[in-house]
Structures are given as structure tokens and as C-alpha cells.
Structure 1
Amino acid sequence: MKWAHVEENWTAFNEAIIDRWPELTEEDLEEIDGDRRAFVAAIVEATGEEPEDVVEQLREWLAGELPSDVVMDPTHDNQSMRNSSKYVGEGEDEYDRDESFGDDEEEDGSA
């Protein structure tokens, strides 16, 4: 993932950030508001680590998987549906509701 993605979805990443850097607080994250330099500075201040080490940690974290909290964020739903279109059969619409998916009816046709 790229920092721009983190920055534009900052609040969705808060839980994943605190999981990775538990020294930071919700208040810290509110103050940082997606600013990369402020983020690095806050980690340096909270942990006492060298800025170069923090930048490397951040680089490694960004190279990882997108946290599931972010993937499940409602603001990503339309993009997720568009991405799923490659798995939707021809003639079907990826934006259709899924009530009938996974037929819950009994084999004799009754519900």
C-alpha cells in the first residue's frame, strides 16, 4: 500500500496503526491526521527510536497487507464491488443485491 492511501483513509487505519505502534494514542492519531512527517515524529517521540529506524519500520508496514478493518470500511465498498466484477458471471451485475446468493431454500422448493 502507499502512504497516500493511508492518508486519505486515516481514521480507518487507526486501529491497525495502534496495533503496530501501541505507544501512540487515539489523541496522537487525531493530531497527526494523516501527515507522514508528523506520524514519524510522533513515533520517534513515543518510542525514543531513531528517525531512520522508524522510517524503515513504516516502509515495512506499508509493504504488508492492507488491514482488514480498512478493507471492510464502507467507503471502500464500491471499489471492492468493481474489483469483484471479474468473478461475476456474464450478464450479471456486480452491484445487484445478494439476497438470492447461496440459495437458502429447502431442496423441495420451500423456504
Structure 2
Amino acid sequence: MKWHHVAENWPAFYEAIVDRWPGIDEADLDEVDGDQRRFVRLVAETEELEVEEARAEIREWLIGEIPSDVVMDEAHDDRSIRNSAKYVGEGEDEYDDDARFGDDDEVDEDGD
């Protein structure tokens, strides 16, 4: 992914950032507000790294996939579905309708 994906969807990346750098909290991320330079400094301070080491860690992190709730377009969704095949059991199809699980006919408490 590119940094602009992160900056444009900053709050959507909070969970992924905190998973990668547990010493960072949401208040820190609110202050950074998607600014790459501030994020590099935050990672360097939190992880007690040199700035270049922090940049390298962030570059490595950026190699990962964009979280599915960040990019909602057909091409990305289709790729995410195909990638999910590794989590689907043998004999199942990741494109199958889930109606066979029986929850499609249930009415929730709101009557919907």
C-alpha cells in the first residue's frame, strides 16, 4: 500500500498500527492525523529507534495489504475475496452464498 492510502483513511488504520506498535495509543494517533513525518517520529520515540530505523519499519509495514474496510471498490473487494480462499475449508467456495447457514430468514429485534 502507499502512504496516501494510510493518510486518507487514517482512523481506519489505528487498529493495524496499534497491533504493529503496541506502545502507541489512539490519542497519539489522533495527534499525528496521518502526517507521515510525525508518524515516523512517533514510532522512533515509542520504539526507541533511530529515525531511519523507524522509517524502515514503516516501509516494511506498508508492504502489507490494505485493510478491507479501508478501500471499498469492486477490484479491491474481489481481490480480498480471492485472498480469503486460504481461510476457506476444502470443498467450500469463497464465492458461495451464505444463505445455507440459515440466518438470512431471521428477523432481528427491530423487525428488519
Normalising by the residue count of structure 2, what TM-score does the alignment of the two structures yield?
Answer: 0.65
Structure 1 pair 26–64 and aligned structure 2 pair: CA distance change class (3 A): same
Aligned length: 81
Identity of aligned residues (%): 45
What RMSD, in angstroms, separates the aligned Cα atoms of the two structures?
1.9
Query: Rg bigger for which structure?
Result: 1
In structure 1, which of residues 68, 72, 86 is the aligned counterpart of residue 69 of structure 2?
Answer: 72
What residue number does 1:92 align with?
A: none
Q: Deviation at 1:45? A: 1.3
SS of the residue 2:49 aligns to:
coil
Q: Deviation at 1:103? A: 5.9
What residue number does 2:13 align with?
A: 13
Q: Deviation at 1:64? A: 1.6
Letter in 2 for 1:71: S
Letter in 2 for 1:54: A
Q: Looking at both structures, which has the greater relative contact order when contacts are Cα pairs under 8 Å and sequence separation is at least 6?
A: 1
Letter in 1 for 2:13: F
Q: Where does structure 1 lack aligned partners over 5 or more consecutive residues?
A: 85-100, 105-111
Structure 1 pair 71–42 and aligned structure 2 pair: CA distance change class (3 A): same
SS of the residue 1:27 aligns to:
helix
1:57-96 map, 5 Å: 57-66=57-66, 70-73=67-70, 76-77=71-72, 79=73, 82-83=74-75, 84=78
Runs of 4+ in 1 over 2 A off after TM superposition: 101-104
Q: Where does structure 2 lack aligned partners over 5 or more consecutive residues?
A: 79-96, 101-112
What residue number does 2:24 align with?
A: 24
Structure 2 contact 12–69 (Cα < 8 Å) conserved = no
